[in-house]
Amino acid sequence: AQKVTQAQTEISVVEKEDVTLDCVYETRDTTYYLFWYKQPPSGELVFLIRRNSFDEQNEISGRYSWNFQKSTSSFNFTITASQVVDSAVYFCALNGVSNAGGTSYGKLTFGQGTILTVHP
Amino acid sequence: EAGVAQSPRYKIIEKRQSVAFWCNPISGHATLYWYQQILGQGPKLLIQFQNNGVVDDSQLPKDRFSAERLKGVDSTLKIQPAKLEDSAVYLCASSLDGRGVAKNIQYFGAGTRLSVL
């Protein structure tokens, strides 16, 4: 069974502060993929990043960075110099490759989400 | 490129009534997913189609929910009869790869917000 835990229910920061969103996961699969999605008030989930279990390099994209640590089963997301437009719900998700019968199986498991509010 | 289209955006019904949601995935995407997102929670997969065949419907309450994807393109999700606990946002997503593999990036529509009174 897969599980994703986002312990922070809500975070409130003032613009230009850095903020880190935590994500801890559980899986028995040796191959798996981790994702972050952003859900603005409009409702659709917007894809931010995908990381596979064999690539522990941290990634930076503009003000966004991700820290993947397999040893602690964590995939944390940091926003540097936050802006009001970053206000949204952020979801961490996991998709494991279950090789029962030799087939891979894509089933995305989401965390509960973290509500980020950035105040001007 | 057009994204995942869903309609209606909002629906209010009374319990025991029926309701249907429609989804048109991104052109060329073989895999289509329906999720239920209850307020304050992450989306939960209801059903996954690969082309027009069902890959996973293990979490679909089959006594009241049904879904179809005719011709492997757009899809409808129906609830009949609705219960109060069905109040949620119903999200549709699609991904390119027809094998439904774990690495697929899923692209989501804006969802349909259902209120059951």
For chain B, the average pLDDT equals 92
Report how far Cα B97 is from the mean position of its chain's Cα atoms: 18
CB of B114 within 8 Å of a chain A CB? The answer is no
Mean of pLDDT values over A72-85: 96
- Measured between alpha carbons, how far is A113 from B42 in angstroms, rounded to an integer? 6
**Cβ-nearest to A44 among B41, B105, B109:** B109
A58 vs B11, higher pLDDT: B11
Residues of chain A contacting B45 with CB distance shorter than 8 Å? 107-108
Mean of pLDDT values over A73-93: 97
**At which residue do the structure tokens 């869903």 appear?**
B6
Please enumerate residues of A whose Cβ is less than 8 A from a Cβ of B.
4, 31-33, 35, 37, 42-47, 50, 52, 91, 93, 95-97, 104-108, 110-113
pLDDT at B10: 96
pLDDT at A106: 64
Residues of chain B contacting A44 with CB distance shorter than 8 Å? 3-4, 91, 108-111
Tell me the per-residue pLDDT of A2-46, one tens digit each, with 9 for 90 and over.
899 999 999 999 999 999 999 999 998 888 899 999 999 988 999
Tell me the per-residue pLDDT of B18-30, one tens digit each, with 9 for 90 and over.
999 999 999 989 8
Three-state secondary structure call for residue A102: helix
Please tell me what DSSP assigns to residue B100. -
Mutate to test the interface with A, among B21, B108, B114 (most CBs of A within 10 A): B108
CB of B25 within 8 Å of a chain A CB? The answer is no
Mean of pLDDT values over A78-85: 96
The candidate with the shortest Cα–Cα distance to A77, out of A89, A87, A88, A68, is A68
**At which residue do the structure tokens 């005719």 appear?**
B70
**Cβ-nearest to B103 among A45, A47, A50:** A50
For chain A, the average pLDDT equals 90
- Measured between alpha carbons, how far is A49 from B117 in angstroms, rounded to an integer? 38
Are B93 and B110 in contact by the 8 Å Cβ rule? The answer is no
CB of B91 within 8 Å of a chain A CB? The answer is yes
- CA atoms A43, B3, B48, A93: torsion sign: negative
Pairwise CB contact (< 8 Å): A95 & B3: no
**Cβ-nearest to A96 among B3, B4, B102:** B102
Tell me the per-residue pLDDT of B49-68, one tens digit each, with 9 for 90 and over.
988 888 889 899 999 999 99
Tell me the per-residue pLDDT of B91-109, one tens digit each, with 9 for 90 and over.
999 998 756 566 788 999 9
A101 vs A78, higher pLDDT: A78
pLDDT of A70 above 60: yes
Pairwise CB contact (< 8 Å): A110 & B31: no
The candidate with the shortest Cα–Cα distance to A27, out of B102, B5, B20, is B102
**In terms of CA atoms, which chain B residue is nearest residue A109?**
B44
